[in-house]
């Protein structure tokens, strides 16, 4: 499902070029619930960003599903991202002036997938699925962190992508709420989604089927 | 059902009302400018081009010994002549108060119902007038101080005073407005009782059949008409050819429109720059949201479309805000300009092409100027946009090292100023906008002050208070006796004068010039000389000409001969000097004896007097003028004209209103735009420093201190803009002073910078900066520590 070959990513910094990933080879099969772990600064987010097509590798290839990301233009990459992957961030990244339901509808709007008349119904279904149906018409600022992250997961599911990518989704939540979120991701994995979870919390690994450990930009196990 | 992305647009627009309002106002300033210009042009265009041409202005006027229908018929049939009409003129003076008279020109009309040339239309009252009636041009009522039905006391050279009834008014679109010329144009019937006694100058007006706008052709035809008339036994004393196709006030009109256009374009450009910088600020704030949207699948194009949509929404608001005052201002300017031309603005509705232009400018320009910042923001990589400290799409960001030297400033203020100076391009835009506004403001004052100075200087060189013209040359002894009987008069000089034709290249007479013979030793006239010298005692056949003569014949220079035709003879004077004079009237100053000889006057006769009054104030001069009129009347020395120099000066100063109104309006718009720019820049600064301000507040900075720093920032920017404005104002003022002077006076006004304008703008820009800083400062002061530190 996800295939990285000899992927290297270097950043230009004032102190010179810095390699955040060094020759990463990685295959993730469909339906797997993969946890990527490692210390802060080990390159986890960088790796996830490459899978999401949010960033491009300095060398090597990234293929996700049918798509070889390196060959796509920026706009095609964005459209592909809207349909093929759902992304969940540590800081939720909900648009502040849109309600929960509208935030969930936004990817459908950009991708033009669901018929406009269907969108709200689908958004409400997704919000019910992540257990925040009654928050549908509230603005993000009025929701708790856990509720916001649930809305963000519902948004990631908007276009029914086969892959979910989550970068420390519990990092900004208390442990109980965080556990709920991980359980939700587990359910989604069980329902057939390929889930990749970046975390540095050992406790998060319970429901996962596989653990990839990064250190200094290399896969060590 | 509105798509969520458009809901975001709507909520962002209406949620941040202050910022949206600023953007709308900035765009509205540009819309206002364009609407004003389009509306004004649409209203004036028919007046400018249609109305004057529809009066069928005469190509040439011939002054002959007598007119008759048969003579006019024969002129009409001469080769090259399109049409002709007899239009004798009676030069008179009308009484406007006890011993106060204003010059009048009454045209005798062959048939009011069948005018052929220089036509006019009934306005109010009777049409046509009876034998004892006069119809006044509608703008003349104010000058003559009468109403319809009133009786007008008239004094015509060489006849007893009489009175006529003002039976009505007409509108003669081809004549300049009477209040600007300070003379009374009127029209009387062919059977008018005023014609008795042969007091009129017999004039025939004609138009050429072809090439009506070619002055050379008109002269040829007019000359051949003159030759033919002379062969028929008539005397032709004068042939005048006015600039073909041009309204007498076309120059002033063009100056007015030029200024309006120049400043309209300037303030429109400023508004566009302001809109661009506001859009840049808007996008800077939206970077993180751009990242979010792109992360969930929005393409660059979709993101850009969304923000361009928001700008279109703001632009629509700007159209609503900017168009109505633009229409009003356009009409106001048009009415004012039409008044100068003595025409009416048409009631034409706002033209369709105007709607297209305004809608295009209003809807297309804002997204166009925003395209750069929007595209740049839409292209930001998601990773960068979502980074902890998202970068604003930077507009020049290097730190100013120089501020490190300001260690004596309180640290928070230093932080504020460092932030200000680190955004160099934004700072340059704001300073530039304020500076252009200031330069406009100062130039407006500089030009009017230069104008005032030039006029005062010009009149200051004429050390007499009254100029009197007598009907006939009178014995100097009699005139002196009359003057001696008027205690208000201090002294007088008698200068022979005449109005000959300037003989141009090829021996063709062109325009009338004024030939004046002052006493070479006279101290009453002290003209500034651009070149050469003034007349010296003992000079013979020398002359000093003014700039207006050079404008008629640019080849003339010191050492050349200037030739004039007078009483059928051509006189040549060698030019010894070129005088700088403000009047557009071409004048040739020659030794008194030469002018006497040329006019056929005797040395012991006087016809034109320059009088110094005892009291040099308005009341004193007025009293002297009245006493003189009375005294000359008592002694039967008929006066044809009496001009107070003070009135003449005021007349010239009155033309300033035109310049001033345009510049003041332009400065106002530019200043408003500059103030908006400053406000938006300060607000953006506060937004971007929210976290920093929160930290300052957390460690004990009071809201007052935080607000004060924003205010000081505004003052620093204002002062900086003032320095730039002073530098900009110099060339701008010089250009405007030169252009205005050349249009009105055929000579520059002389460079002048008014200290009052310079100081006044400093005060004003500081006030403006204070006002602009009010909202941003309040915003900064109201940030709570929690809000500020949680700001993403
Ligand atoms: N935009 C960037 N510019 C420079 N260095 C970066 C950038 N993004 C990440 N890095 C560096 O790359 C390394 C890996 O970063 P990241 O993938 O975010 O680590 P993790 O998510 O594992 O904490 C870190 O040392 C980080 O400092
Ligand atoms: Mg990370």
Q: In the numeric block, which tokens belong to residue A69?
A: 């990301």
Q: What is the pLDDT of residues B159-200, one digit of tens each?
A: 778 899 999 999 998 888 887 777 899 999 999 999 887 778
ipTM summary value: 0.92
Q: Note whether B306 and A118 are within 8 A (CB).
A: no
Q: What is the pLDDT of residues B196-250, one digit of tens each?
A: 877 788 999 999 999 888 888 998 899 899 899 999 999 887 788 888 888 777 7
* Residue B128: cis peptide before it, omega within 30 degrees of 0: yes
* Residue B398 in this model has a pLDDT that exceeds 70: no
Q: In the numeric block, which tokens belong to residue B30?
A: 């540009």
Q: Is B744 exposed, middle or buried (0-12, 13-18, 19+ CB in 10 A)?
A: buried
Question: What's the whole-model pTM score?
Answer: 0.75
State the Cα–Cα distance between residues B383 and B356, nearest whole angstrom.
Answer: 43
Q: Nearest Cα to B255, choosing from B751, B745, B693, B684? A: B745
Backbone φ and ψ of A16, nearest 5°:
115, 180
State the nearest Cα–Cα gap between A165 and chain B, in angstroms. Answer: 11
B561-566/B514-516 β-pairing: unpaired
Check CB contact under 8 Å for A83 and B792: no
Cα distances from A59 to residues A4, A8, A21, B291, in angstroms, run 11, 5, 10, 24
CATH number attached to the domain at A2-219: 3.40.50.300
State the Cα–Cα distance between residues B127 and B167, nearest whole angstrom.
Answer: 8
Please give the residue that has the higher pLDDT: either B713 or B387: B713
Residue of B nearest to A155 (CA): B296
Q: What is the pLDDT of residues B507-547, one digit of tens each?
A: 666 677 889 998 877 888 888 888 899 998 888 999 999 88
Going by C-beta distance under 8 Å and a sequence separation of 6 or more, which residues neighbour residue B629?
Answer: B99, B100, B101, B639, B642
**Per-residue pLDDT, B2:** 86
**Per-residue pLDDT, B392:** 47
Q: Which ligand is nearest to the CA of A43?
A: 1
Cα–Cα–Cα angle for A139, B307, A100, nearest 5°?
15
* Residue A157 in this model has a pLDDT that exceeds 80: yes
| Mean pLDDT confidence for A42-61 | 92
Domain ranges of chain A: 2-219
From A11, A14, A168, the mutation candidate for ligand 1 (largest count of ligand atoms within 8 A of CB) is A11
Q: In the numeric block, which tokens belong to residue B21?
A: 């309002």
From A8, A10, A17, A18, the mutation candidate for ligand 1 (largest count of ligand atoms within 8 A of CB) is A18
**Per-residue pLDDT, B389:** 54
Backbone φ and ψ of B374, nearest 5°:
-65, -45
Q: In the numeric block, which tokens belong to residue B293?
A: 């949207």
Task: For residue A78, give the nearest of B12, B15, B298 by CB distance.
Answer: B298
Per-range mean pLDDT, top range of A122-126, B27-31, B46-50: A122-126
Collapsed DSSP state (helix, strand, coil) of residue B332:
helix
pLDDT band of B744, cuts 50, 70, 90:
low
Neighboring chain A residues of B15 at a CB cutoff of 8 Å: 97
State the Cα–Cα distance between residues B78 and B228, nearest whole angstrom.
Answer: 8
B561-566/B569-580 β-pairing: antiparallel
Q: Which ligand is nearest to the CA of A169?
A: 2
State the Cα–Cα distance between residues A31 and A168, nearest whole angstrom.
Answer: 20
Going by C-beta distance under 8 Å and a sequence separation of 6 or more, which residues neighbour residue B599?
Answer: B496, B497, B498, B515, B566, B567
Cα distances from B593 to residues B118, B480, B525, in angstroms, run 40, 20, 17
Q: How far from chain centre, in Å, is Cα B46? A: 20
Backbone φ and ψ of B458, nearest 5°:
-60, -50
State the Cα–Cα distance between residues B412 and B339, nearest whole angstrom.
Answer: 58
């Amino acid at each position: 499902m996800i295939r990285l070959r000899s992927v290297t990513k270097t950043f230009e910094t004032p102190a010179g070029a810095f390699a955040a990933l060094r020759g990463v080879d990685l295959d993730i099969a469909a339906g797997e619930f993969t946890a990527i772990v490692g210390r802060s600064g080990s390159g986890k987010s960088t790796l996830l960003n490459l899978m999401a097509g949010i960033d491009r590798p300095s060398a090597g290839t990234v293929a996700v599903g049918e798509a070889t990301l390196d060959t796509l233009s920026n706009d095609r990459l964005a459209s592909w991202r809207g349909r093929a992957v759902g992304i969940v961030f540590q800081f939720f990244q909900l648009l502040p002036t849109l309600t929960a339901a509208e935030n969930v509808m936004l990817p459908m709007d950009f991708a033009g997938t669901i018929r406009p008349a269907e969108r709200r119904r689908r958004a409400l279904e997704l919000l019910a699925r992540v257990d925040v149906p009654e928050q549908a018409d509230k603005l993000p600022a009025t929701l708790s962190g856990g509720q916001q992250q649930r809305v963000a997961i519902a948004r990631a599911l908007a276009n029914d992508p086969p892959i979910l990518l989550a970068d420390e989704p519990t990092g900004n939540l208390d442990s109980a709420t965080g556990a709920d979120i991980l359980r939700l991701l587990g359910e989604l994995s069980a329902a057939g989604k390929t889930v990749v979870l970046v975390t540095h919390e050992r406790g998060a690994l319970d429901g996962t089927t596989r653990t990839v450990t990064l250190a200094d930009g290399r896969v060590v196990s | 059902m509105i798509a969520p992305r458009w809901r975001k647009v709507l909520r962002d627009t209406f949620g941040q009302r202050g910022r949206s309002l600023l953007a709308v106002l900035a765009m509205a300033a540009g819309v206002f400018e364009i609407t004003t210009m389009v509306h004004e042009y649409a209203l004036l265009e028919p007046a400018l081009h249609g109305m004057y041409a529809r009066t069928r202005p005469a190509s040439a006027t011939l002054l002959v010994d007598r007119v008759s229908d048969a003579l006019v018929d024969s002129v009409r049939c001469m080769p090259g002549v399109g049409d002709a009409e007899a239009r004798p003129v009676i030069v008179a003076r009308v009484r406007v108060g006890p011993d106060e008279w204003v010059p009048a020109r009454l045209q005798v009309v062959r048939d009011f119902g069948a005018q052929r040339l220089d036509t006019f239309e009934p306005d109010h009252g009777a049409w046509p007038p009876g034998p004892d009636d006069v119809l006044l041009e509608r703008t003349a009522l104010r000058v003559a101080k009468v109403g319809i039905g009133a009786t007008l006391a008239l004094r015509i050279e060489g006849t007893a005073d009489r009175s006529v009834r003002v039976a009505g008014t007409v509108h003669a679109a081809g004549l300049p407005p009477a209040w600007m010329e300070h003379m009374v144009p009127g029209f009387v019937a062919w059977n008018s009782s005023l014609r008795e006694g042969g007091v009129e100058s017999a004039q025939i007006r004609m138009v050429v059949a072809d090439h009506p706008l070619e002055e050379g052709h008109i002269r040829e035809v007019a000359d051949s008409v003159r030759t033919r008339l002379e062969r028929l036994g008539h005397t032709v004393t004068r042939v005048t050819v006015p600039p073909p196709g041009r309204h007498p006030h076309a120059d002033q009109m063009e100056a007015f429109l030029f200024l309006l256009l120049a400043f309209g374009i300037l303030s429109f450009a400023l508004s566009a720059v302001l809109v661009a910088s506001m859009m840049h600020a808007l996008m800077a704030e939206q970077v993180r949201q751009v990242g979010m949207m792109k992360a969930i699948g929005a393409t660059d194009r979709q993101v850009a479309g969304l923000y361009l949509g928001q700008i279109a929404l703001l632009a629509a608001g700007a159209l609503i805000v900017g168009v109505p005052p633009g229409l009003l201002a356009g009409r106001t300017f048009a009415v004012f300009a039409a008044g100068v031309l003595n025409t009416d603005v048409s009631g034409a509705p706002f033209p369709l092409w105007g709607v297209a232009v305004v809608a295009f400018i209003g809807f297309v320009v804002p997204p166009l100027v925003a395209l750069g910042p929007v595209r740049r923001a839409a292209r930001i990589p998601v990773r960068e946009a979502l980074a902890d400290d998202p970068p604003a799409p930077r507009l020049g960001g290097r730190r100013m090292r120089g501020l490190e030297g300001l260690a004596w400033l309180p640290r928070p203020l230093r932080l504020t100023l460092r932030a200000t100076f680190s955004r160099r391009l934004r700072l340059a835009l704001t300073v530039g906008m304020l500076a252009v506004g200031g330069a406009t403001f100062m130039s407006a004052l500089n030009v009017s002050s230069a104008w005032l100075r030039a006029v005062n200087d010009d009149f200051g060189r004429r050390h007499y208070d009254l100029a009197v013209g007598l009907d006939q040359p009178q014995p100097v002894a009699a005139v002196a006796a009359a003057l001696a009987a008027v205690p208000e008069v201090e002294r007088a000089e008698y200068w022979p004068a005449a109005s000959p034709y300037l003989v141009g290249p090829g021996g063709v007479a062109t325009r009338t010039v004024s030939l004046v013979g002052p006493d070479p030793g006279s101290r009453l006239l002290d003209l500034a000389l651009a070149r050469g010298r003034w007349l010296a005692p003992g000079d013979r056949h020398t002359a000093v000409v003014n700039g207006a003569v050079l404008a008629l014949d640019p080849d003339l220079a010191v050492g050349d001969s200037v030739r004039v035709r007078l009483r059928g003879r051509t006189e040549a004077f060698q030019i010894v000097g070129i005088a700088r004079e403000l009047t557009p009237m071409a004048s040739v100053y020659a030794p008194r004896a030469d002018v006497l000889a040329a006019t056929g006057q005797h040395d012991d006769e006087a016809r034109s007097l320059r009088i110094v009054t005892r009291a040099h104030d308005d009341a004193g001069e007025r009293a002297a003028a009245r006493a003189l009129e009375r005294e000359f009347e008592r002694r039967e020395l008929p006066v044809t004209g009496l001009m107070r120099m003070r009135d003449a000066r005021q007349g010239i100063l009155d033309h300033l209103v035109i310049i001033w109104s345009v510049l003041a309006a332009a400065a106002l718009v530019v200043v408003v735009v500059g103030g908006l720019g400053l406000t938006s820049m300060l607000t953006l600064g506060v937004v971007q420093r929210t976290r920093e301000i929160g930290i300052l507040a957390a460690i004990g900075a009071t809201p007052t201190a935080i607000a004060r720093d924003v205010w000081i920032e505004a003052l620093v920017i204002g002062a900086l803009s003032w320095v730039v404005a002073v530098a900009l104002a110099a060339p701008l003022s010089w250009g405007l002073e030169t252009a205005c002077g050349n249009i009105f006076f055929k000579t520059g006004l002389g460079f002048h910078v008014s200290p009052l304008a310079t100081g006044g703008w400093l005060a004003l820009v500081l006030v403006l900066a204070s006002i602009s800083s009010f909202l941003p400062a309040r915003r900064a002061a109201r940030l709570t520590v929690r809000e500020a530190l949680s700001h993403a």
